[in-house]
Structure 1
Amino acid sequence: MSSLRLLRRPAFYAALCMILVIAGASLPAVASPAVSAVRPIELRGLPGAPQSAVYGINNDGVLVGSSGTEDEPLAVRWSPAGAITRLPMPSGATVSEALDINGTGAIVGTIDSRAVRWNPGGTITRLTVPAGLTESYAIAINDKGVTVGDALVAGSEDRYHALRWTAAGAATDLATLPGADNTVATSISSTGFVGGYVDVGSLRHAVRWTPEGAISDLGLLPGGTISIAWGIGPTGTAVGGANSPNGSRALRWAPDGRLTVLDLLPGGTDARAVAINTYGTIAGDASTSEGHRHAARWTEGGVTDLGTLPGHLASDIYAINDRGVCAGFSFDVNGDPHAVKWETTNE
């Protein structure tokens, strides 16, 4: 598991582990994997950096993420051709992560556990939070400059409030469910829909916010305790994952709330959908018959195993653009992540 990105935070790390690990008997796969015409391309990290990962990509093919060591990742940007640039930090800062990029080139992420936006002109904007909140994380940004993320409740180790920042930087505390202990925003669409999850007691519920801020509970699988909306499209279609007594599954929620359980890879027991583009193509990861986790893509033709870099055993996707380019990382034999994009070939 990569220690890069905010997955190191308890709320995100626990959510990912529970979705991928809590599983009983497998549910049968209902489709064979589509024939892949996609190949992984490694994106070189900073000189001497053992780890790198991509978390965001825009429609121009510019990618953002982190490169560095386990304890000191640094925010970076890759050009479509793969040239890497380290993003600036204020004097004295030590850790940074770039988590998303929009069509104008604005990038959001964190510097020393504070939400920031790197503006196209090279300046950095600190995204402030409401009173009573401390550590903050800017997770996603759309082309209108609206950003979502969350911030830690002061005095707490793992209670978060989901936030939305306007392009001007004004923060709004997003609505939550009755009895909620924790609220996290994971994604925002071009039209302002927001995906995420809410903890209520021992249960974690996938939720969706409308552009106006109204929240809806997307529910759980029968017998399950966890669901998360990781990605969201322009019409409000959300994608994510949930556990159940029969395994953890990748899910798609239609705008009207109708649920579709996405296919597993043959012999696999678990899957998770993370991102969806304007055309409805879904990206995420799924377990193979050998028990490894591989980057995966879902289209109308079924599920495709996108594989790993040569010699690697596992891979994850965290973003997809409207050209179908997926981005994430591939794990080497030492468990270190290497930044990767998956592009369609002419084969």
Structure 2
Amino acid sequence: MDLGTLPGDDSSMVLAVNDAGEMAGVSSLGRDPRRDLPVRWDADGRITALPTPGGSAGQARDINENGVSAGYVLSATAAVPARWDAQGEATTLQVPPGYHNATAFAISDTDVVVGNWLTPSNEYHGFRWDPDGQVTDLGVLPGDNWGMAEDISADGRIIVGVANRAGTQHAVRWVDGGPITELAPQSYGSGAHIVNEHGVAAGTMNETSSGPPVPATWDRDGTIHRLDWSSPHSVWVYGIGSTGYVVGFGYLNPPSPSAVLWDPDGHLTVLPDDGHYVDVEAVDGEGTAVGSLQSSATVWYRNGARTQLGGLPGGNRSQAYRITDSGRVVGTATTAAGKDHAVYWTLR
């Protein structure tokens, strides 16, 4: 299904989708420079422009199960976080004096928005924006240079992100509005950029400066669970599903990279690629993974089957990067004119 663009635009992208099939993202014009407008699509694929109060551009970065979106509005001089209700009405956050370049990236089902801004001293900090309008600077760990909030659980109680200390990144989180804590405090470095709806985070850590990467998940209580990875070479974690399936990409058998899936117990499966370049981006609660193979959107099922999804007429490239537990896959596909359009596929 071609989700199209706003009138006069030439490209679009879905950045988030909920289980009801409602989607949020951008409709764009041009390439360099490119102008983005925040948009929402209903479950049938009808596009609606979201207002940009005080600005002329912006992005809708996430959408919750109630159809409430979060993102930001861009003016000529500033980025301002925005929240759009299910009817598309906008509320913008009044950024505290001296704070600037504020952008929102995720929203919980309880309408808590998280994002990042620059402090008056030009350091990145995460922020939390509650439904009642209260905003909190999430701060940094002692000795850290900066910290960023990147994702939030469905109930709004767990926020995950990353902090920087002397040039090394550390996975961090905030629980129930409490202070920042480190997820892997005994490791040399770590990163956890994603959390599923139940508050389980996924990422990697390095126990020493020269040690191999260790893919892992962290329970709601912070307990670390290592995922199988027998290689000393790089691995990246890209997505975690509602039941704990995890997908990633790494050099299990160099020089060729592999797309991989871990089940909820941490056991590794290499996704078949027939020797071609492959990428995997997301996974659902059943362990169905989506990504691309040979520039074509692809689905890998837990029973070992693999399906390449269709493209747009005349186009030569597609990519899948989100999947819901209800079986909707979203991504992009090129048109005959070579433009990227947001699309979705239905698996069930």
TM over 0.5: yes
- The unaligned stretches of length 5 or more in structure 1 are 1-40
Higher percent of residues as strand: 2
Would the alpha carbon gap of residues 274 and 302 (structure 1) be closer, same or farther in structure 2, given more than 3 Å must change? closer
Larger Rg: 2
Q: Which residue of 2 aligns with 1:325?
A: 328
**Partner Cα distance (1:296, 1:211) in 2:** 27
**Partner Cα distance (2:108, 2:81) in 1:** 16
Q: 2:56 aligns with which of 80, 87, 94?
A: 94
Aligned residue pairs total: 295
Q: Which residue of 2 aligns with 1:253?
A: 218
Q: 2:150 aligns with which of 186, 190, 200?
A: 186
**Partner Cα distance (1:242, 1:312) in 2:** 37
**Partner Cα distance (1:301, 1:163) in 2:** 32
Q: Is the 8 A contact 2:125 2:139 kept in 1?
A: no
Aligned-pair distance for 1:336? 6.3
SS of alignment partner, residue 128 of structure 1: coil
Aligned-pair distance for 1:151? 0.8
1:211 aligns with 2:176: yes
Higher RCO, 1 vs 2 (CA within 8 Å, ≥6 residues apart): 1
**Partner Cα distance (1:340, 1:284) in 2:** 23
Paired residues for 1:53-68 under 5 Å: 53-68=13-28
Q: Is the 8 A contact 1:315 1:328 kept in 2?
A: yes
SS of alignment partner, residue 180 of structure 1: coil
**Partner Cα distance (1:320, 1:180) in 2:** 35
**Partner Cα distance (2:212, 2:343) in 1:** 28
Would the alpha carbon gap of residues 299 and 90 (structure 1) be closer, same or farther in structure 2, given more than 3 Å must change? closer
Aligned-pair distance for 1:104? 2.5
**1:243-293 deviation line (CA, Å, top 9, x unaligned):** 8979877642233421333679xxx9754324533x334467776554453
Q: Is the 8 A contact 1:101 1:141 kept in 2?
A: yes
**Partner Cα distance (1:241, 1:74) in 2:** 34
Would the alpha carbon gap of residues 195 and 314 (structure 1) be closer, same or farther in structure 2, given more than 3 Å must change? farther
Q: Which residue of 2 aligns with 1:196?
A: 161
Q: Is the 8 A contact 1:249 1:271 kept in 2?
A: no
Would the alpha carbon gap of residues 293 and 164 (structure 1) be closer, same or farther in structure 2, given more than 3 Å must change? same
Would the alpha carbon gap of residues 238 and 104 (structure 1) be closer, same or farther in structure 2, given more than 3 Å must change? same
Q: Counterpart amino acid of 1:87?
A: L
**Partner Cα distance (2:87, 2:317) in 1:** 39
Would the alpha carbon gap of residues 85 and 257 (structure 1) be closer, same or farther in structure 2, given more than 3 Å must change? same
Aligned-pair distance for 1:162? 0.5
Higher percent of residues as helix: 1
Q: State which drifts further: 131-140 or 293-302.
A: 293-302
How many percent identity over aligned positions? 30
Q: Which residue of 1 aligns with 2:308?
A: none
Q: Provide the aligned C-alpha RMSD in A.
A: 3.7
Paired residues for 1:300-311 under 5 Å: 307=293, 308-309=296-297, 310=311
Q: Is the 8 A contact 1:263 1:303 kept in 2?
A: no
Aligned-pair distance for 1:171? 0.2
Q: Is the 8 A contact 1:51 1:336 kept in 2?
A: yes
**1:109-162 deviation line (CA, Å, top 9, x unaligned):** 111021011123432111123343111111111121111111112363xx3111
**Partner Cα distance (1:272, 1:305) in 2:** 13
Q: Is the 8 A contact 2:245 2:283 kept in 1?
A: yes
- The unaligned stretches of length 5 or more in structure 2 are 251-256, 259-274, 298-310
Q: Is the 8 A contact 1:276 1:320 kept in 2?
A: no
Q: Is the 8 A contact 1:59 1:321 kept in 2?
A: yes
